């Protein structure tokens, strides 16, 4: 009799099973309800197919649809495979490449056969119907291990040049697996997958769009079509997601930015924002708010150069780790003649700064610093440039030129926890001023990094300790640790804001860095009279002004708080006889610090109301002949029905109270 495997379940009980037993068999032995509900298994913490035989003693946890994160990951991976199978069934000769799960769905990159045009939106209904047919067929999804030679031979025989190329480059000795869908279609995949296509809900997915893509992300390679879909566990989840997308489309900051005349972007300056007067009012209000916050928190504001020598970036480590994202410029006068190269081979190189931190170290190094000078908090509204690909640019959310609310705290080791706790308190107050809730996460060391293991151990422990002492390492604040997500030089705390429609945005961060002070030779004189390295805390709250403004526009659907609104009030006339009175009211509001405009046009008042509502003006003060005689105004508040009559002085006082920034209210 062969040796039995000891399988330990989450409750601590142990079952002895024969080799060849699957997690599905164990679920069935526990009970028919679990046998029906179980969709996958965690074997020693690794997510696996429920039909994959156990290979030895193991810890086993069965996964059901209640384990939503794992269940969605599996379902979306399966939807991607079903998509590829459907496309090849409809158009034989289509080549497939890869199809991962995403945060809300899946995609697959495919190349159409030579006899037809690339796939388009018009093809999606037919593909969706074929996918539903494959799901309803309940085809078993079966894992097989193949030899490298057999797998390459299969792909080459079938003309799958992309799959063959990838298979040839996988490491020698790596187990190569495929998944069969029934007995007539397979794809190369590590898995895991559900037991069959019928485990998917045929009404819980939708193909959303197509886009161009390049094989392996390189523009020099073949162009492919990326087909995107969204996939869920049931139709209710899909409908909720589609509703959220509809709401997000209404809130799109690019659309609202145009309607509200805030900014524009154009091809003459890819990824850089043209701020219009109304948009820059929002910027200045945020800048003033942040300056008050950092002044009160003991920061000193600085300004550093836009362009620095490449040797500085080499020393900091950015030249090697980040150069592909930097705008590099020659340090010489370019050739103006018709012939010859624009730049000589002897040219030295400089770069627009992609971040502010090395420049802040250079400021710290000016003069001798004592342990008594620490902590030193340097703040900059720092304009940076990053060479993002054109296809990755997205309105204000992803740009090439941006301004960070950036600061670096140089401190002693014994000051780190207190400084991080103080930053947590500052970030908490600021995010609450804007009406956001948030989750806080600790991003741990990545695979490629600078520094010793001891440095990383210490830095991660200090951030963890600070959050625990601040009372934020709890489920209420969404506390989570993220392995591999830290920067190459430091672990970091991340603030993930939740907006009005439930989307999350990673915005604020603080990083505990021992690497950059070492590389750039920053030091202070300790109490012992010896030189010591400061610890450098990199921190931001908005992240960048551009992106934070985009988030605010979408969070408030353009209806910004009165203190941020570009135009806080409009005084609109019903009849021309009230023009003079409207200008008097506006003058009083302006004298009280309110951003106000008048609308004296010969238009009907309902037309004016609609127009200013579209422009998201918070308060409309309507005046006519009667209001002029009585010294009153009729106030219409954006988003509310009806109006209220107030004297001019009462209206001014009410608007001043609403327009006061939250940090200045008593």
Cα–Cα distance measured from residue 90 to residue 84, given in angstroms and rounded to the nearest whole number: 10
Strands 437-443 and 480-482: parallel
Longest dimension (CA), the chain: 105
Of the candidates 406, 499, 513, 599, the residue annotated as catalytic is 406
Q: How far apart are CA 192 and CA 199, in angstroms?
A: 14
385 is a catalytic site residue: no
Q: Please, what's the b/e burial string for 119-145 (b: 16 or more CB within 10 A of its CB; e: otherwise)?
A: beeebbeebbebbbebbeeebebbbee
Structure tokens at 493: 């705390």
Catalytic one of 189, 357, 384, 411 = 357
* Residue 59 to residue 23: CA distance in whole angstroms: 11
User: C-alpha distances in angstroms, 135 versus 81, 84, 140?
Assistant: 11, 13, 10
Q: Which residues contact 564 (CB under 8 A, 6 or more apart)?
A: 282, 285, 286, 552
Q: State the DSSP code for 578.
A: G
Quick one: which of 392, 396, 319 has its CA closest to 353? 319
Which position among 404, 415, 568, 619 bears the catalytic label?
404
Q: Which of 377, 496, 538, 636 is catalytic?
A: 538
Beta bridge partners of 595: none
> Any catalytic annotation for residue 538?
yes
Tell me which long-range contacts 33-39 makes (C-beta under 8 A, separation of at least 24).
Answer: 34/62, 34/64, 37/64, 37/65, 37/66, 38/62, 38/63, 38/64, 39/63, 39/64, 39/65, 39/71, 39/74, 39/194, 39/195, 39/199
Catalytic residue among 76, 130, 353, 408: 408
d(CA 572, CA 583): 10
Asked if 598 contacts 586 with a C-beta cutoff of 8 angstroms, the reply is yes
Displacement of CA 266 from its chain's centroid (Å): 23
Q: What is the DSSP letter of 200?
A: S
- Give the integer Cα–Cα distance in Å for 461 and 512: 10
Q: Per the residue annotation, which of 251, 492, 496, 636 is the catalytic one?
A: 492
**Cα–Cα dist 655/210, whole Å:** 48
276 is known as an active-site residue = no
- The answer to whether residue 254 is catalytic is no
Sheet with 596-599: strands ordered across = 596-599, 569-573, 619-623, 632-637, 644-647
CA-based nearest residue to 202, from 322, 339, 83: 83
Helix (H, G, I), strand (E, B) or coil at 210: strand
Note if 77 is an active site residue. Answer: no
Q: Is 323 a catalytic residue?
A: no
386 a catalytic residue: yes
Please give the C-alpha separations between residue 178 and each of 55, 280, 564, in angstroms, as whole numbers.
Answer: 19, 55, 56
Q: What is the DSSP letter of 215?
A: G
* Active-site pick, 42, 139, 360, 386: 386
237 φ/ψ angles, rounded to the nearest 5 degrees: -65, -40
Q: What is the set of active-site residues?
A: 357, 386, 404, 406, 408, 492, 538
């Amino acid at each position: 009799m062969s040796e039995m495997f000891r399988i330990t379940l989450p409750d601590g009980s142990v079952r002895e099973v024969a080799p060849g037993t699957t997690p599905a068999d164990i679920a069935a032995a526990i009970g028919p309800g679990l046998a029906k509900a179980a969709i996958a298994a965690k074997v020693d913490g690794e997510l696996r197919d429920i039909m994959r035989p156990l290979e030895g003693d193991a810890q086993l946890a069965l996964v059901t649809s209640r384990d939503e994160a794992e269940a969605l990951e599996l379902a979306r991976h399966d939807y991607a495979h079903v998509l590829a199978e459907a496309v090849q069934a409809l158009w034989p000769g289509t080549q497939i490449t890869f199809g991962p799960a995403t945060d809300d769905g899946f995609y697959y990159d495919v190349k159409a056969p030579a006899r037809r045009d690339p796939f388009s939106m018009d093809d999606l209904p037919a593909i969706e119907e074929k996918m539903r047919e494959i799901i309803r067929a309940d085809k078993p999804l079966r894992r097989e291990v193949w030899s490298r030679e057999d797998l390459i031979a299969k792909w080459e025989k079938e003309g799958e040049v992309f799959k063959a190329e990838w298979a040839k480059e996988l490491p020698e000795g790596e187990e190569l697996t495929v998944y069969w869908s029934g007995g007539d279609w397979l794809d190369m995949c590590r898995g895991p997958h559900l037991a069959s296509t019928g485990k998917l809900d045929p009404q819980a997915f939708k193909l959303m769009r197509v886009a161009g893509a390049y094989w392996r992300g390189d523009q020099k390679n073949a162009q492919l079509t990326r087909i995107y879909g969204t996939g869920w566990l049931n139709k209710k989840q899909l409908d909720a997601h589609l509703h959220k997308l509809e709401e997000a489309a209404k809130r799109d900051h690019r659309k609202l930015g145009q309607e509200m005349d805030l900014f524009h972007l154009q091809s003459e300056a890819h990824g850089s924002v043209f701020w219009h007067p109304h948009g820059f009012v929002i910027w200045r209000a945020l800048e003033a708010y942040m300056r008050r916050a950092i002044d009160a928190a003991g920061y000193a504001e600085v300004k550093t150069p836009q362009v620095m020598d490449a040797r500085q970036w080499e020393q900091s480590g950015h030249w090697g780790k980040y150069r592909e994202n930097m705008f590099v410029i020659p340090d010489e006068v370019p050739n103006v003649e018709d012939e010859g190269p624009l730049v000589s081979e002897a040219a030295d190189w400089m770069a627009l700064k992609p971040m502010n931190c090395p420049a802040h170290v250079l400021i710290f190094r000016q003069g001798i610093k004592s342990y008594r000078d620490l902590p030193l908090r340097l703040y900059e509204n720092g304009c940076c440039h990053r060479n993002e690909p054109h296809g990755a640019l997205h309105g204000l959310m992803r740009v090439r030129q941006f301004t960070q609310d950036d600061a670096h705290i140089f401190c002693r080791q014994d000051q780190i926890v207190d400084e991080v706790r103080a930053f947590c308190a500052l970030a908490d107050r600021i995010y609450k001023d804007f009406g956001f809730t948030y989750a806080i996460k600790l991003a741990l060391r990545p695979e490629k990094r600078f520094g010793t293991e001891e440095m990383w151990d210490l830095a991660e422990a200090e951030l963890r300790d600070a959050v625990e002492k601040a009372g934020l390492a709890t489920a209420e604040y969404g506390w989570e640790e993220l392995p591999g997500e830290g920067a190459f030089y430091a672990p970091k705390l991340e603030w993930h804001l939740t907006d009005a429609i439930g989307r999350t945005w990673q915005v604020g961060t603080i990083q505990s860095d021992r690497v950059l002070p070492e590389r750039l030779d920053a030091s202070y004189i300790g109490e012992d009279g010896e030189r010591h390295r400061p610890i450098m805390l990199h921190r931001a709250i908005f992240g960048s002004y551009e992106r934070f403004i985009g988030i605010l526009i979408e969070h408030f659907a353009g209806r910004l708080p009165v203190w941020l609104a570009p135009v806080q009030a409009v005084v609109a006339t019903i009849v021309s006889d009230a023009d003079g009175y409207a200008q008097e009211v506006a003058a009083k509001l302006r004298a009280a610090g309110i951003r106000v405009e008048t609308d004296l046009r010969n238009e009907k008042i309902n037309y004016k109301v609609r127009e200013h509502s579209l422009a998201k003006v918070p308060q409309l003060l309507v005046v006519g002949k009667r209001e002029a005689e009585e010294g009153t105004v009729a106030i219409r508040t954006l988003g509310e029905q009806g109006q209220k009559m107030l004297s001019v002085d009462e209206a001014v006082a009410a608007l001043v109270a609403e327009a006061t920034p939250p940090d200045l209210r008593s």
